Amino acid sequence: MSFGIVILAGGRASRMGGGDKPLKQVGGKTILARVIATLQAPERPMVLNANADGARFSPFGLPVIPDAMPDYPGPLAGILAGLDWAVAQGGLRDVLSVPGDCPFIPADLPERLEEARRQSGKPLACAASAGWTHPVIGLWPISLRDELRAALHAGERKIDRFTARFGCASAEWPVLGHDPFFNVNTPEELTEAETIAALVDGKGNA
């Protein structure tokens, strides 16, 4: 399985009152640091999709790429940027997209998505939990980047509507105490994430 990872942090975080959600602290670590620690491996190149001045993310040591289109058109533009970046790396077949506001991403994410895709025979796969699919958390073939670029220029903004054109498998995760794809969009959810982190980190140290 040859893939790169794009962490999506290109939104405006309006429900958080602005600022970068991935730089919020959860359990003494930034959400971004948690995502990187869970998914990073020597054989997996990783990039951060963020707009404006990327220097604010320099402590994490990742390359930073902006959306593939201006004016914050949504996560599809960040995914396309990740696909373009992956082509430039050479030798990659897929891109794994993950949001920068999910502090508890499961470590088996890429393997489970690949297995769901293989079993279904569909070219795309996304995560699911608690009866919901999470289209932004997915495995994307680089071969679809031209179709995605054309769709974006034609005004497409919904991930699931785009993926439905080609077929998208889903991999379901159980909710055991907390949703592994819990994301932080509001100050209240940041407080909830602190509670979850105390439990998750405590188990890890036990």
Instruction: Give the CATH number, domain containing residue 193.
Output: 3.90.550.10
Backbone angles phi, psi at 127, to 5 degrees: -85, 160
pLDDT(22) > 90: yes
Task: Give the 3-state secondary structure of residue 151.
Answer: helix
Which amino acid type is present at position 45? P
Domain that holds residue 181: 3-205
pLDDT(11) > 80: no
What pLDDT is recorded for position 15?
Answer: 52
In angstroms, rounded to a whole number, what is the distance separating the alpha carbons of residues 58 and 41? 19
What pLDDT is recorded for position 72?
Answer: 86
Residue 197 gets the label, from left (phi > 0), alpha (psi -120 to 50) or beta, of alpha
What pLDDT is recorded for position 13?
Answer: 53
Report the pLDDT averaged over residues 23-31.
96
pLDDT(173) > 80: yes
- Torsion over CA: 182, 162, 48, 21 (sign): negative
What pLDDT is recorded for position 91?
Answer: 95
Tens digits of residue pLDDT in 114-171? 999 999 999 999 999 999 999 999 999 999 999 999 999 999 999 999 999 999 999 9
Confidence grade of residue 206 (pLDDT, cut at 50, 70, 90): very low
Q: What is the dihedral of CA 92, 94, 97, 103, to 10 degrees?
A: -70
| Upper half-sphere CA count for residue 21 (Cβ side, 13 Å) | 27
Tens digits of residue pLDDT in 34-92? 999 999 999 999 999 999 888 999 999 999 999 988 888 999 999 999 999 999 999 99
In the chain, how many domains are there? 1
